[in-house]
Amino acid sequence: MQKRSETNPMKLDHILDKIYPLPLPSKQLLLQNITEVNYPKGHILLSADKVEHSIFFIKKGIARVYTRTLDHEITILFCKEGDTLVSMKSYVLNQKGYEDVALLEDSELYELKTEKLQKLFAKDISIANWARRFAEKELIKTEERFIARQFRTAKERYQEILRDHPDLIQRVQLSYIASYLGITQVSLSRIRADRS
């Protein structure tokens, strides 16, 4: 494989502001509750089997979000520098989620305990609105993924990845890309070979 292009670590401040700009006092409240953690490739960051208690912001690295049944698994999405990882069902409903999250590279993360965040919701209106905005934007992203998966063929979506996220093809093995596209690895090979 060709030498992987080095990825730039993402500043926490920038990640938080990208979601919704916070006034300084509120931002500092948030920052006080966030710590840095590192995990190696292969680490299971979030598990479908349990109620999770953390939100992670990715400083550096890439993760695969997926669900599984007895016989097979499908990849829901890939998250990388600047993205946020959370089990919504844990975070919102205090229930087990449906997704596992595994790191595909050694990664550096910012961790925020959901309990701490939830306490801030009642106290700080800016943080409540920041989290509102977070959920709203995540919802739009999920809607977009949903529509893309319904509307465009696997071939079209593969070509979109090539065009918009070429680094993904370098950083993620093709069996996961196939699973993300909702097809078998064999079908992806057919697409890549361009024999329709």
Binding site for DNA (CB under 7 A): 1, 153-154, 173-175, 182-190, 192-193, 196
Contact 41, 103 (CB under 8 A): yes
User: How far apart, in Å, do the first and last CA atoms of the chain sit?
Assistant: 25
User: Applying CB under 8 A, which part among 39-47, 146-154, 160-168, 187-195 lies near a copy of itself?
Assistant: 146-154
Q: Does 145 bind a copy of itself (CB under 8 A)?
A: yes
Residue with tokens 């401040």: 13
CA distance 181 to 72: 14
Nearer residue to a copy of itself within complex by CB, 60 or 131 = 131
> What DSSP designation does 62 have?
E
- Contact of residue 24 among a copy of itself, DNA, none (CB under 5-8 Å per partner type): none
**Residue (93 or 162) nearer to DNA, CB:** 162
CA angle 166, 39, 94 (to 5 degrees): 95
Residue 196 interacting partner from a copy of itself, DNA, none (CB closer than 5 to 8 Å by kind): DNA
Amino acid found at 184:
T
- Which of a copy of itself, DNA, none does 25 bind, CB closer than 5 to 8 A by kind? none
Query: Which distant-in-sequence residues (6+ apart) come within 8 Å of 128 by Cβ?
Result: 120, 121, 122
15 vs 65, beta carbon nearer a copy of itself? 65
Are 170 and 5 in contact by the 8 Å Cβ rule? The answer is yes
Instruction: Work out whether 159 is an interface residue with a copy of itself (CB under 8 A).
Output: no
If contact means CB under 5 to 8 A according to the sort of partner, which of a copy of itself, DNA, none does residue 36 touch? none
CA nearest to 59, candidates 113, 116, 3, 14: 14
Give whichever of 122 and 196 is closer to DNA, judged by the CB atom: 196
Scored b (16 or more CB within 10 A) or e, 14-29 reads: ebbeebbebeeebbeb
Contact between 89 and a copy of itself (CB under 8 A)? yes
Q: Residue 115 Cβ, how far from a copy of itself at the closest point, in Å? A: 16
3-state secondary structure of 166: helix
Closest contact distance (angstroms) between CB of 50 and a copy of itself is 17
Which residues in this chain contact a copy of itself in the complex, by CB under 8 A?
67, 69, 74, 76, 88-89, 91-93, 98, 121-122, 125, 128-129, 131-133, 135-140, 142-147, 149-151, 182
